Amino acid sequence: MSYRPRLLLAGPMMLSLACGAENPAEPSNPSSSAGRCRTFATNYTTTFSYPGLGVSTTHTQCVYWASGQYTCGTNPEPGTCATITGHTSWYARLSDFVDEAALLGRQRATRADSSYSPPAGCSGPFTARFMSYEYDSRGRLTVERMVGATGDPTNVVTTSTAWDGSGRVTRKTMSAQGCTDQVTQLAYDDAQRTITTTTTPGRGAGCESSGSVLVETFDANANLRRATYSQGQPLSTTDISIETTQTVCE
């Protein structure tokens, strides 16, 4: 199983919108008179290294729209049949998008849709995942719901969460029909700007998985820069090179 960046997933490309997303009116522009701001990658190259199997790259464009949508489209290397992905997150207000980056691992989106499709001339089905999020009165994530997680659009995966004193998720318990609960532990190192995610194996028809450890490293603006993924032994290393950025302010 290879790893793909969770949030951020240059060369010419069209920005790919996730399934169900409408093309927003215009990007949000920086405000010189604003207070808090967030700077995020708008063009970046991701390099995946697999021990003994070689290297592959993808190219991503992202934009935050004035309508509150944060959209990223990722294209594989030309001439390959790797998956084209689109990802859109919805925020109730600009301050939520800005605030999300102020603390490592914070989450403020109300919904996220992801789509996966093959490039032209390549075979493979189109798939989509739709996420919704619930928060408590203090803005802490309590429930994640994913539809279409196993390729079945009627399949719903529900994840309950626990947090640390800063309101960041430290434990996730994932439940799905026919599967034993899968537990994920998250640990944060603010000094090193890393998140370590440890997941137990899943069991049951359609949800078999191995235990895994994912270590992600972020820059001061909460942009993902490096990740290592292992299942008992190293399986992949991901490095992200940022070409351009966008700044939005409250």
Do 7 and 200 contact (CB within 8 A), yes or no?
Answer: no
Confidence of residue 82 (pLDDT cuts 50, 70, 90): confident
Distance CA 73, CA 23 (A): 13
Q: What is the mean pLDDT of residues 26-52?
A: 78
130 pLDDT higher than 90: no
Q: What is the pLDDT of residues 2-31, one digit of tens each?
A: 444 443 332 333 333 333 344 455 555 444
Domains and CATH numbers, the chain: 37-249 (2.40.160)
Do 127 and 116 contact (CB within 8 A), yes or no?
Answer: yes
Is residue 61 exposed (0-12), middle (13-18) or buried (19+ Cβ within 10 Å)? buried
User: Strand pairing partners for 27?
Assistant: 65
What is the number of other CB atoms lying within 10 angstroms of the CB of residue 51?
10
pLDDT, position 8: 33
User: Strand pairing partners for 131?
Assistant: 112, 146
pLDDT, position 149: 55
Strands (E), the chain: 37-50, 54-64, 69-76, 84-90, 111-117, 127-135, 141-147, 156-163, 169-175, 182-189, 194-199, 212-218, 224-230, 234-249
Q: What is the pLDDT of residues 214-241, one digit of tens each?
A: 999 999 999 999 999 999 888 999 999 9
pLDDT, position 53: 83
pLDDT, position 2: 41
Distance CA 66, CA 220 (A): 24
Q: What is the pLDDT of residues 148-170, one digit of tens each?
A: 655 555 667 788 899 888 888 99
pLDDT, position 93: 94
Confidence of residue 77 (pLDDT cuts 50, 70, 90): confident
pLDDT, position 201: 79
Do 246 and 63 contact (CB within 8 A), yes or no?
Answer: yes
Sign of CA dihedral 48, 49, 54, 55: positive
Tell me the C-alpha to C-alpha distance, in Å, between residue 86 and each of 2, 123, 150, 179.
Answer: 18, 18, 18, 28
Distance CA 139, CA 108 (A): 8
Q: What is the mean pLDDT of residues 122-146?
A: 81
Per the structure block, which two tokens stand in for 41?
A: 């990658």
Residue 215: which of 223, 224, 207 has the closest Cα? 224
Per the structure block, which two tokens stand in for 117?
A: 């499709």
